[in-house]
Chains A and B, each alone.
Chain A
Amino acid sequence: MNQLGTAASREAQILSRYLLGRTADRQTCELYEKATASFTRGTAARDERIATFAITHPWSLAPLDGALALVNPHSVLRQKLLIAAAILEACPAYYDAFLSQERSKAYLLTVMFVLIRAACRAVLGLLLLRYIR
């Protein structure tokens, strides 16, 4: 694997852990490497800096992702996350994380917590975006 491949592979691992809390397998890493080569050409420098910051500081992924979902949904970081999600969804190892499941009524509380958490993450992300120039 060349240097770019190693970097893309590491990126796939980070995004996979963020999206599913699971480590990406080799196939996912290889597909992600192939996909990102064509996906992030010709993008704005600040957009790139935000993506780089988020990937080098994985704790900031969720806040920045949440903020960009509101202010720039087609940004580089969102594109990378989208392609990572698409690849994970199309792998047999992770398919079940993307299909609906029978849930109890109490699960609604979990969903409400997730929505509140998402709002908090977005607010934090908006503050972070001001910091990344």
Chain B
Amino acid sequence: MSVHDFIVVGSGATGSMAAQTLAERGARVLMLDGGQRDDKYAALTPRANFVDIRKKCEEQHRFLLGDAFESVPRGGIRAGAQLTPSRQVILREVDRFLPYTSDGFAPMESLAFGGLGAGWGLGCCVFSDFELRAAGLKPSEMRGAYQTAASRIGISGTSDDAELYTFDGISGIQPSVPLDPTCAEISQRYARKRERLRRKGFRLGRPALALLTEPYDERSATQLRDMDYYDDAEQAAWRPWITVSRLMKRPNFQYLGDSFVTHFKESEGRVNVRSLDMRTLEVRTHACRKLVLASGTFGTARLVLRSRGDFTRNLPFLCNPYTYLPCVVPNRVGRSMPDKRTGFGQLVLFHDPDDMNRDVAFAAMYTYRSLLLFRLLREVPLNINDALIFMRYLLSGFVIVGIHHPDRFSPEKTLKLVESPASPTGDALAFSYALNATEQHAVDARERMYAETLRELNAWPIKRVRPGYGSSIHYTGTLPFANGENGRAHALDPSGRLHGTKNVFVADGSGFTYLPAKSLTLSLMANAHLVAERLTR
């Protein structure tokens, strides 16, 4: 059995970033990954814009709804309910290999090629020094790492009131995509009330998105086809699979899909890794000098607890509480929508009450079209015939505002590994998550302020939807960073090394000891790069 320099577990935003850093520095890298791919729907999607497809394509029901109608939601609201058929691959095999029990927390994990990054909303933010320190990260190192990650993925954005929170300190930013007329209305209203809203702590601006508006690094600019949730045709939107596919062309990089890593064990200066072939459940073994875990906060927690046979200890974790407010901009209802547009975030609204860029709340605003009207109809408390007339009229003025709140550790947020004989690994994760009274009060108060501010911006909230704990899909903190071996068995030192090991490192968000509300992915990628960079020094 050959011994690789590094084995990277997972191909998501962190795994791809760590692997790129390692491979570019000449290390021999093996990536083990669930590797589930959409081999059907994206290929069916014509390279035309949304309206033309709707007018002409007889087969559109296949990629809009799915051959088994898997994209038509059943039952109540859940994480992933909005996934289109091509993005449903994100959840493929998850129920089987990543089972969980919970009293109300619904995590979203993935075994897809590119992990959860296959459906990432592309939002990029930089954490402030306060937030980085609270998360256990070094601001001086992270600033450079943000630039590296941004240069690899390509980011578009605008210098405005949101810049401090989105791409402050990062160069090479491309211009934003054109603003949707409905959000332009909100933006103009903000410009008129700017000083007053700033005094209240609110800052509105364009999001920084990992979406190219100019050709870059052999990738095309977005064609604004409004098919963002269905295909990655131009590679304008950065997805982890783009990076991993390029790495596969390098002689020092090897990718092994359908691999579900179950155990690791250190022995005589190397790490032995055991995986299951996801099709046959055959056991495979691999060896490396150093192991880099990047299978997501919960995936890594499973792997560490299982490898150590720990079915007793609770691990902490963090997850942004998430609420969305469907809003209506009255001036924009009953209007047509532009053909050229994107479904990604149009605006971001930060709440920074003391103007210190700490404990900032974050909201992203989306206009709605390509996810289809029927998904909205089911949420309207009217008969569907009348709801259709009503929502069709509102649609052009409809804005969905998703609010993320920061999260901190508390005894009410824990997980542990439990036995589950039915699963291929014989175990499952048991989650317990609740906000305490103080946290809930803060969330409620913040959401009231957001609703009030949105009304000032002429975006009128019509409902408050709390899709449930876990729906933010931002998770960190299972193996918190700690200085020195402080008695915590399951923790990381600041370099990302797992306590009690010499050669096992974690490159995902497991170590973060605080979870800011801002978009998390760029910070995860920057940290992954740093972990990998330290390993190659």
Tell me the A residues contacting B by CB distance below 8 Å: 18-20, 27, 31, 34-35, 38-39, 61-63, 65-66, 69-70, 73-74, 78-79, 81-83, 85-87, 89-92, 95, 97-105, 107-108, 110-111, 114-115, 117-118, 121-122, 125
- Report the bound CA distance from A108 to B389 in whole Å: 11
A97→B381 contact, CB < 8 A: no
- Report the bound CA distance from A99 to B64 in whole Å: 15
Tell me the minimal C-beta distance from B315 to chain A in angstroms. 34
Chain B 382-402, CB-CB to A under 8 Å as 1, else 0, gives: 111111111011011000000
B57 beta carbon closer than 8 Å to chain A: yes
A87→B61 contact, CB < 8 A: yes
Tell me the minimal C-beta distance from B396 to chain A in angstroms. 4
Which of B57, B61, B336, B380 is in CB contact (< 8 Å) with A100? B336
B337 beta carbon closer than 8 Å to chain A: yes
CB nearest to A64 among chain B residues: B383
A79→B74 contact, CB < 8 A: yes
Given A92-B56, A100-B392, A65:B383 Cβ within 8 A = yes
A107→B334 contact, CB < 8 A: yes
B418 beta carbon closer than 8 Å to chain A: no
- Report the bound CA distance from A105 to B331 in whole Å: 10
- Report the bound CA distance from A79 to B73 in whole Å: 9
Tell me the minimal C-beta distance from B66 to chain A in angstroms. 10
Q: List 29 A-B contacts (CB under 8 A).
A: A19-B388, A31-B61, A39-B69, A39-B72, A62-B383, A69-B380, A69-B382, A78-B378, A83-B72, A85-B377, A86-B65, A86-B72, A86-B374, A89-B372, A90-B64, A90-B65, A90-B372, A97-B388, A98-B388, A99-B337, A99-B373, A102-B334, A102-B335, A103-B334, A105-B334, A111-B390, A115-B390, A117-B386, A125-B383
- Report the bound CA distance from A38 to B66 in whole Å: 13
Task: Write out the residue numbers on chain A whose beta carbons fall within 8 Å of the beta carbon of B386.
Answer: 62, 66, 114-115, 117-118, 121
B51→A99 contact, CB < 8 A: yes
A114→B378 contact, CB < 8 A: no
Interface set, chain B 50-104, CB cutoff 8 A to A: 51, 54-58, 60-61, 64-65, 68-69, 72, 74-76
Task: Write out the residue numbers on chain A whose beta carbons fall within 8 Å of the beta carbon of B54.
Answer: 92, 95, 99
- Report the bound CA distance from A38 to B68 in whole Å: 8
A69→B383 contact, CB < 8 A: yes
- Report the bound CA distance from A73 to B64 in whole Å: 23
Task: Write out the residue numbers on chain B whose beta carbons fall within 8 Å of the beta carbon of A73.
Answer: 378, 381
Tell me the minimal C-beta distance from A38 to chain B in angstroms. 7
Give the number of residue pairs across the A-B interface with Cβ within 8 Å: 139
- Report the bound CA distance from A65 to B386 in whole Å: 10
Task: Write out the residue numbers on chain B whose beta carbons fall within 8 Å of the beta carbon of A83.
Answer: 69, 72
- Report the bound CA distance from A70 to B384 in whole Å: 12
Tell me the minimal C-beta distance from A120 to chain B in angstroms. 10
Which of A70, A86, A87, A107 is in CB contact (< 8 Å) with B393? A107
A103→B382 contact, CB < 8 A: no
Which of A74, A87, A102 is in CB contact (< 8 Å) with B76? A74
Task: Write out the residue numbers on chain A whose beta carbons fall within 8 Å of the beta carbon of B51.
Answer: 99
A65→B384 contact, CB < 8 A: yes
- What 8 A-B pairs have minimum CB-CB distances, sorted nearest first? A103-B334, A66-B383, A90-B61, A118-B386, A65-B383, A95-B54, A100-B395, A100-B396
- Report the bound CA distance from A66 to B382 in whole Å: 5
Tell me the minimal C-beta distance from B18 to chain A in angstroms. 40
Task: Write out the residue numbers on chain B whose beta carbons fall within 8 Å of the beta carbon of A115.
Answer: 382, 386, 390
CB nearest to B63 among chain A residues: A90
Tell me the minimal C-beta distance from B74 to chain A in angstroms. 7
A101→B392 contact, CB < 8 A: yes
Task: Write out the residue numbers on chain B whose beta carbons fall within 8 Å of the beta carbon of A122.
Answer: 382-383
Tell me the minimal C-beta distance from B237 to chain A in angstroms. 23
B76→A92 contact, CB < 8 A: no
Task: Write out the residue numbers on chain B whose beta carbons fall within 8 Å of the beta carbon of A74.
Answer: 74-76
CB nearest to A102 among chain B residues: B336
Tell me the minimal C-beta distance from A52 to chain B in angstroms. 18
Tell me the minimal C-beta distance from B373 to chain A in angstroms. 5
